[in-house]
Amino acid sequence: MSEDAVVDELLAAVAASPDVVALRLRLVALLAERGRHAEALEHCTVALRHDPGNADAMAALQQVSSGLSASGGGFDWSAAEEQVSDLAEPAFVQDYQPTAVEEDVARPGVRLVDVGGMTEVKERLELALLGPMRNPEVAKAFGKNTRGGLLLYGPPGCGKTFIASAVAGELGARFYPVALSDVLDMWLGNSERNLKEIFDVARRSAPCVLFFDEIDAIGQKRSQLRHSGMRNVVNQLLAELDSAQDRNEGVFVLGATNHPWDVDTALRRPGRFDRMLLVLPPDPPARAAILRYHLRDRPLSGIDLDALARSTPEFSGADLAHLCESATERAMSDSINTGTVQPVTMGDFTTALREVKPSTGAWFATARNVATFANADGSYDDLVRYLKSRKR
C-alpha cells in the first residue's frame, strides 16, 4: 500500500469519526511527515476545538507551525493566522470561570455532649467562644465582640474536626468546613478570589463557624515559601481575618493543624487566630466512649471498656477505631472458620493490641523539640505541662 493510500484511508476514517481526536492527531503526524503542513494545521485546529486542553494536540500544533516556518515561501500565512486565531488563547482559558463557592452551609447535628471526655478542652471553648456567642448582650457590656479565631492543634486523629463541628452545633450556628481544594487554584489570582468568596458566604450566613482544616497548608510561614502565589494567598487570608472592608461580626473562625509551628506568625496575632487550644489524645473516659461507639451493633462477649481504655494510653481516636476493626477482623475470621458467628472478646483485643500501637509518638517527638526550644512567647505552655506530666 502506498503512503498516499495510507493517508487517504486515514482521511476517510476521520471523516467517518470526526470526534475521535487520537485518530485525527495520527493523520496530522502523517500529513506533517509528507510536507502537507497546511492540511496538518487545519486538522490540528479541528482537534483542539474538540478537545481544547489536549496536550498532544498543542504539541502537534507547535510542530506543524515549525514545519511551516521552515518551508517558507508560497504559503498563505494570512489564511493560517485566520485558522488558528481562535487558538491564540485556548478555549479552556477563554471559558474558564472560577469554581463557585458552595452556599449551602450546613447546620451540624452534633454537640459538645457528643464529644466524650475532654473536659479541659470544653471549658476552654466555653470561656473563649461559646459563652460570649450565647450571651451577646453580656459580651457587649464587657466590650467583647463575637468575632475572632481559635486554632486547634495536636496530634492527628484526635478529633479536631469533630470538635469544630460540635462547636457549631452547640451554638445552633451554621458550620462551613473549608478544605484545601476549596481555596487553591491553578490560575494566578483565583485562590485569593476563592478565599474572599468563602468569607463573603460566611458573613452572609452569620452566625457561622468557618472551619479551616490543615490551616498550615493555606497559611504556611511566608519565610518558607518560594512561590509568590502562595505568599499572596497568605496575605489574602490575613486581610480577610482583619476584615478591613467587611465586618466579621458573628463569624468565628476555627483552624486545625497538626503543625502549628509551620503556621505564619502573623496569623496568630491578636484579632486573627489569637487563641490556641491543644487537643490531646482522648483521656480514659473519652477512650471508653470512642470504643463504645465503634463497637455498637457488633456481637460482643465479656468486653470491659474501662480496662481497654486504661490499656490504650496515647491512642488517638483514629487509633482506637483501628483497634476495634482489628479485633473485629479476628472474630470474623474465627466465625468463617467455624461456620458460626463468634462474638468479639477481650482475647481478640489482647491479640490486636500486640499489633496496633499509638500513632501519636512521632508527633510528640517533634512537639517536644518545639516546646523545649521554641516556646519563648509561651504559646506552647499547655504542651509543656502535658509533656512534663507524662515525663516525656
In a domain, 101, yes or no: no
For 275-300, write each residue's pLDDT tens digit.
Answer: 889 999 998 988 998 999 999 989 99
| SS3 annotation, 134-202 | HCHHHHHHCCCCCCEEEEEECCCCCCHHHHHHHHHHHHCCEEEEECHHHHCCCCCCHHHHHHHHHHHHH
Of 341, 319, 322, which Cα lies nearest the Cα of 332?
Answer: 341
Query: Does 316 fall in a domain?
Result: yes
Each residue's pLDDT tens digit, 63-88: 766 665 555 544 444 444 444 444 44
Looking at the DSSP bridge assignments, the partners of residue 211 are: 177, 254
Residue 320: pLDDT band (50, 70, 90) is very high
**171 and 272 co-located in one domain:** yes
Q: pLDDT grade, residue 212 (50/70/90)?
A: very high
What gap in Å lies between CA 2 and CA 344, rounded to an integer? 74
Residue 237 CA to residue 240 CA, distance in Å, equals: 5
pLDDT tens string 17-33 = 887 888 888 888 888 88
Q: Which of 233, 254, 278 is the last residue of a domain?
A: 278
Which residue in 240, 241, 185, 184 sits closest to 217, CA to CA? 184
C-alpha grid cell for residue 111?
454537640
Domain stops at, among 258, 278, 298: 278
Q: Are 182 and 278 in contact (CB under 8 A)?
A: no
If asked whether residues 118 and 259 sit together in one domain, one would say: yes
The domain that holds 345 is classified in CATH as 1.10.8.60
Residue 193 lies inside a defined structural domain of this protein? yes
Section 171-181 average pLDDT: 85
Considering the domain architecture, whether residues 290 and 316 belong to the same structural domain is answered as yes
CATH number, residue 62: 1.25.40.10
Looking up cell 496568630, which residue turns up? 268
pLDDT mean across residues, the chain:
81
Do 342 and 330 touch, CB atoms closer than 8 A? no
pLDDT tens track for 137-148: 887 787 776 666
Q: How far is CA 385 from the centre of its chain?
A: 31
Within-domain flag for 104: no
- Name the grid cell of 281: 489524645
Instruction: Count CB-CB contacts under 10 A for residue 146.
Output: 20
Q: Is 12 exposed, middle or buried (0-12, 13-18, 19+ CB in 10 A)?
A: exposed
* Burial tier of 75 (Cβ tally within 10 Å: 0-12, 13-18, 19+): middle
230 grid coordinates = 502562595
Percentage of the chain modeled with pLDDT above 70: 84
Name the residue range of residue 289's domain.
284-355
Residue 162 belongs to a domain with what CATH number? 3.40.50.300
